Amino acid sequence: MIGFSELIVIIIIAIAVLKPDKLPEYAQAIKNALRTTQQVKNEAKEMVSPVTDIANEVKNEISDIQETTILGNEEGANNERIN
């Protein structure tokens, strides 16, 4: 993330390099680019969210199966010791 001091330096350089009368156009273009980037990021999150939910469900199911298998093995070993 850009800090305040870096932003000031960028603005000063922009004013020196670019024509001051063109700065509003450039600012609008940057604003639009940032807005589009934000929209793309939000859309990507929306697309990934269901996949993440499914992955978490599968992970939980695998954990449940592993716990059941471990418990089943321990019970079987205990039954063999009793016999």
Convert the pLDDT of each residue in 57-78 to its tens digit.
999 999 988 888 877 766 655 5
If one compares 71 and 16, the residue with the highest pLDDT of the two is 16
Contacts of 66 (CB under 8 A, 6+ apart): none
Put simply, whether the predicted model's pTM sits higher than 0.75 gets the answer no
Alpha-carbon separation of residue 7 from 4, 25, 63 (angstroms): 5, 18, 48
pLDDT for residue 46: 92
Which amino acid, residue 39? Q
Q: What's the rounded mean pLDDT across residues 7-17?
A: 82
| Tokens matching residue 47 | 């697309």
